[in-house]
Amino acid sequence: MTEFHSKPLDALRLVPGVSRPRRLRRTAALRSLVRETTLSPDDFVYPLFVVPGAKTRNPVTSMPGVDQLSVDLLAGEARELESLGIEAVLLFGIPSAKDPLGLESYADDGVLQQAIRALKDASPELVVMTDVCMCEYTDHGHCGLLDSDGYVLNDETLEVLGRIAVSHGEAGADVVAPSGMIDGMVGVIRAALDGEGLERVAVLSYAVKYASAFYGPFREAAEGAPAFGDRRSHQMDPANAREALREAALDVEQGADALLVKPALGYLDVVRRVHERFPELPLAAYNVSGEYAMLKAAAASGWLDERAAVLEVLTGIRRAGADLVVTYHAKEAAAWLQERL
């Protein structure tokens, strides 16, 4: 056996100029120096769930470390995020009352509108992104207005989405993020914003959102699970990738300022395709609640190193082509990255 292996090894040693990739992996400093994909706290967008009331912090049982927060606690949250170098949040509101039309979604004094104002007062430089959808506000839990058969009406829903986006823009949102996968949503929202003098508000479109099994914990956090049926009539089939490019192209044509793919881990190929097809636009990927919960559960059981696994996952999402990562790991990951410095 020794003689068998020695010949090719000896030959390799004698060949001048042979590349040895391991030379650049020898020390931590060398590995850092030639690292192709970087990960930084300013790559992260941190989701926040806002509820009515005061001094309220409701832990989300399926998402350890994530809480529903009342508006008065957001200033403290903004200061913490600023200290960690996280520059953006994505807001989800849980209203005081739900109804078939989701009326609080565009109310001037709605919980999300209050949250926007509170965050911008506390931290004017914080980028405030808002979810523009109806599922948290309707008593049926679907993403739009329904017909008598329970089907989401497309064009009728668009009018409401425009009103929601305008209310968020007027409250001070920097970016509105329509997430319902309703046909024409970007164009209608862009026109509604511009018509109210809100041209500076950007649109981050959930251009590619799949009907995924990994949203379960989010539905607890946002209290937006559908009361019946599912969302497959408007969210994408997980089997489709070419369709993602068609969806993204439509939103680009309608004036989207940035695109988002959701979920992230099972769809890294889609993240790459969208990035390569539309390199001129910033691309976000949503590291969703189920992906977060899996790592938390495995870490709690001692099955993996949480810090190493989380940073590997987030780096992989960036490597696939995401410029931004919406992630519930943002605060932990930012703290770990600061420790590296």
Per-residue pLDDT reduced to its tens digit, 19-74: 788 888 899 888 888 888 999 999 999 999 999 999 999 999 999 999 999 999 99
Domain for residue 4, yes or no? no
CATH number at residue 52: 3.20.20.70
Domain for residue 5, yes or no? no
Per-residue pLDDT reduced to its tens digit, 151-175: 888 889 999 999 999 999 999 999 9
* Active-site position among 55, 98, 120, 262: 262
What residue ranges of the chain have pLDDT lower than 50?
none
Domain for residue 86, yes or no? yes
Contacts with 137 (C-beta within 8 Å, 6 or more apart), sequence order: 93, 95, 98, 99, 102, 103, 104, 105
Domain for residue 22, yes or no? no
- Whether residue 209 lies in the annotated active site: yes
Domain for residue 297, yes or no? yes
Domain for residue 12, yes or no? no
- Residue 151, H or E segment: none
* Active-site position among 98, 209, 296, 331: 209
Domain that holds residue 126: 39-340
pLDDT attached to residue 101: 84
- CA–CA separation, 97 and 328 (whole Å): 26
Domain for residue 20, yes or no? no
pLDDT attached to residue 100: 84
Domain count, the chain: 1
On whether the CB atoms of residues 161 and 230 are closer than 8 A, the answer is no
Domain for residue 225, yes or no? yes
- Whether residue 7 lies in the annotated active site: no
